[in-house]
Chain A
Amino acid sequence: MLDGAWIGQLTAALVYLIVGMRLARLASSTRERPERLLSNLFLFTAVSYFLYLVPLIIAIEALWTPFNFAGRVAYIPAPIYIALFTRDVFRSGSRVSTALIAATAGLLVVGVTGSAIRGDWEGFSLDDSFFWLEWVGYTLPFAWAGLEAFAQYRSSLRRRRLGLCPQIVCNRLLLWASFGAIQVVISFVALRMYADFATENAFSGILDRLAGVLELISIALIWLVFFPPRFYRRKMSDSEAADRPAEEA
């Protein structure tokens, strides 16, 4: 990672930590499972990101491999939690979804363990089949989350026309779908970065910055979903009010 390019990841780690803590507080008051699952998703992601960042921030190369591996291990629960959230919220009671979650967990555990046993502690070796198990394990749940949220967003537009879904909730579903999609794009960018690393022994500057920008976009989406600022809420309510006369006409 280039000097300065890790700022996107550091910002993301801090935001995910804040969002995770806020959702944990929400879950403790509502005692509902969806917020607990998302809280765990963001807290594990934040811990993982911090572990990846430690050797970069304190610039000790000897720490690179152990902290990278610790970051990979700490990240394993995150995709499982988003898959659990997706099943609970969008596909409640679906056996196929439960099987998908089990498959995700299996891919991640086998992928990380297998590549470590073969000596690839950082998980950069694209020619190792275990790398691909792990990659699918952390990409698939976000793709699934994005697709389910987008499908739900489309039906929420119909509910909105009947006054059954507030504009801000419709938009929140779209933001969540976009978050899932961007995580998938980041996974593909990471693939290319690892390929470059294998041949050049360095990350591509352009791709590193692209990954940073995508992280910042993810943060903005997450912020709008979980901490909707006043201007955004006003825009949503204005949009709802503007549609009302047309609907009533």
Chain B
Amino acid sequence: MAIGEREKRIRIASAVSLLAACVAGILIGLLSGQVPHIPQLAVGLLAAAILFGAFMAMVPRWRRLDHMQQDSRLRSWYWGGSFAGGLGLVLALIFGGARSPLFAGAALVWLLQCAGYGASRLNWWRVHRAEAA
């Protein structure tokens, strides 16, 4: 089956997103372990800037998806991501113990995901709220 122009644009945007995520991951990995002379705060700020850049590179792909495609990804991330995140936390607790670095890492990721979800929800309401009539 021939691929339409729209599908081509989405595939290109997907490739750009994936590439940006990989490059960001490699750069942040290099920054965190290989640059001993840079202050930790500067490393953190640089890593955050790289991460922000990677996210911005993903925006075109998201905007090219239609309503159903966005809906499927949002629902999958909400239900699948939430459940798997919770399951990971439980498994880390069972196999690592409450005071293990594994559980601490899993808990940190899960808490940050919850915080990001909350911030995103607040922003959604800020953008969509209207004065009561």
Query: A and B from one assembly?
Result: no
